[in-house]
Amino acid sequence: MLKEILQNKKRVILLLLLVFFLALIRFFEDTFFYDPLLEYFKNDFVHTKLPKLSIVKLFFSYGFRYYLNSIISLGILYLLFKKDVVPFSILLYIILGTILFITFFFTYKAFGENHKMLLFNIRKFIIQPLFLLLFIPGFYYQKKNK
């Protein structure tokens, strides 16, 4: 395995660079993205009301962050598995992202105060590259079983 890694230095460097970009997005999340729920969920949110949100700003901020994470994640998947999984991954990111956004905003509007933990968990899937952590072992398993 070490010989294979040394032969693919360029791929490993690109892979590390993409992971670094994901870390930068996380590190600068409070600077670059509109997210009043970020500070809200860091504090004692169980006993406080949800903050007032600009739904349009929140939608575009979450959307930009989701698709930025998705593009970087697709680059990581491409480097790990070549072109085999990228078209299917694009389709999954589009479908899952659409479901997440609809579910998040419907839950906020319809059940907001009563379902804070559901909002928290849906929001995590939107703003963090969690699908990448699910796709890598799944695609690896599929590749090994071919």
* pLDDT given for residue 4 in this prediction: 67
Region 18-37: mean pLDDT is 89
Sorted by where each begins, the domain ranges of the chain are 2-25+57-141
H or E, element range at 74: helix 55-81
* pLDDT given for residue 6 in this prediction: 66
Long-range Cβ contact pairs of 121-126 (< 8 A, separation 24 or more): 123/37, 123/41, 123/62, 125/96, 125/100, 126/62, 126/65, 126/66, 126/97, 126/100, 126/101
**How far apart are the C-alpha atoms of 125 and 122, rounded to whole Å?**
5
**How far apart are the C-alpha atoms of 94 and 1, rounded to whole Å?**
34
Higher pLDDT, 18 or 82: 18
Region 102-128: mean pLDDT is 86
Region 109-137: mean pLDDT is 86
How many alpha carbons lie under 13 Å from residue 7 in its C-beta half-sphere?
4
pLDDT, tens digit, 9 for 90 and up, residues 30-43: 888 888 877 777 77
Higher pLDDT, 43 or 72: 72
Region 56-62: mean pLDDT is 90
Torsion of CA 10, 15, 19, 21, to 10 degrees: 50
Higher pLDDT, 82 or 62: 62
* pTM, to two decimals: 0.86
Query: What one-character-per-residue DSSP string does 5-67 give?
Result: HHHTHHHHHHHHHHHHHHHHHHHTHHHHS--HHHHHHHS-GGGSPPPP--HHHHHHHHHHHHH
Q: Lowest-pLDDT range, 20-29, 40-49, 108-117, 123-132? A: 40-49
- The yes-or-no verdict on residue 61 having pLDDT over 60 is yes
Region 13-35: mean pLDDT is 91
Region 13-18: mean pLDDT is 93
* pLDDT given for residue 9 in this prediction: 83
What separation, in Å, do the N-terminal and C-terminal C-alpha atoms of the chain show? 20
